[in-house]
Structure 1
């Protein structure tokens, strides 16, 4: 059974980039819109974890302008200022049915359907996370991990890789160049420029 929910984590401060990474132009549209459209094309409904009320308002306006019929949800952090762990917690908490969601960060422009298929094939009844070795995002998270995330947030334990260890994640190896490229991220102006140059080749 294919995963039908996706989460885009877009609540970061983008301090290394110097501007909001979700708004970076990619193929003539903001990166966030590009990702939502791509995930919708794979049959997934998207929830955007926006962090602050200000970010949520801005992203809501973008989605209304570009993808008004996409059914995209937007959530704000329930633990403000606590990074990607808080964003993941808020988004998973908002989902209505217990199931897996595909999770990626908004600065990861290469969504790999091949890798998603590999992750889906490794789901197990007691697995809260299915991820590639060393990569907490472009991964599957089950809604039953929410209490674990809440506990870590309440105690100030915010490292994503520790979450994967505590959750006893199913860890796989990406098996080709296409799936490895999924972990490209646009953290800095230099990375963004390199991505644009490669995309034009």
Structure 2
């Protein structure tokens, strides 16, 4: 998929309540989680990168998009960003999964480009990851309906609108969701020391 066809949304607006501080600004080997995700987008040739809900310390050259309907979780962030995205496809990546390899995302993008479904999400060892996926930006209207008329749950939305999975064979630790201090310390200790 050429860069002009795909935008990227980094979901960086969570409350970080379990972590106790903004996950976006946590670092591994001197790079913040958010920097790590932005670098992947750039490596994939994506120039239209949107930061959903980031309220951390650092300044970035990319637009920070606020939810139009606060308190609606990830789907609220995606809806606001999809309305601003410049391209028909959008790579979606949570900021708290900073270890996902760029080549896995490239394979995910390739599958999405050849899929009839409006969303392709990454799956590993039977775990489906809706916040590691490629969505068609035309889903913004359906997302708006989901967050204003229902609970706004991502999986309920996907089941209603259809999706398929890209099955990754990469080791599971690459997809670690780093949400609390214990997981953060453990990942750094095991893989980066």
- Does the alignment reach a TM-score above 0.5? yes
The answer to whether the Cα contact below 8 Å between 2:119 and 2:134 also exists between their aligned partners in 1 is yes
Deviation at residue 39 of structure 1 after TM alignment? 2.1
Deviation at residue 163 of structure 1 after TM alignment? 1.5
TM superposition score normalised by structure 1: 0.83
Match for residue 120 of structure 1 among 109, 130, 134: 109
Deviation at residue 13 of structure 1 after TM alignment? 0.3
2:53 corresponds to 1:50: yes
SS of 1:34's partner is: helix
Aligned residue-pair number: 185
- Aligned residue for 2:95? 106
Query: 81-90 or 27-36, which moves further after superposition?
Result: 27-36
2:40 corresponds to 1:38: yes
- Aligned residue for 1:25? 27
TM superposition score normalised by structure 2: 0.86
The structure-2 alpha-carbon separation of the partners of 1:121 and 1:40, relative to structure 1 and needing over 3 Å to count, comes to: closer
Moved over 3 A (4+): none
- Consecutive unaligned residues of structure 1, counting only runs of 5 or more, are none
Match for residue 137 of structure 1 among 107, 131, 136: 131
2:71 corresponds to 1:85: no
- Aligned residue for 2:59? 62
Q: 1:117 & 1:125 partners in 2: Cα distance?
A: 14
- Consecutive unaligned residues of structure 2, counting only runs of 5 or more, are none
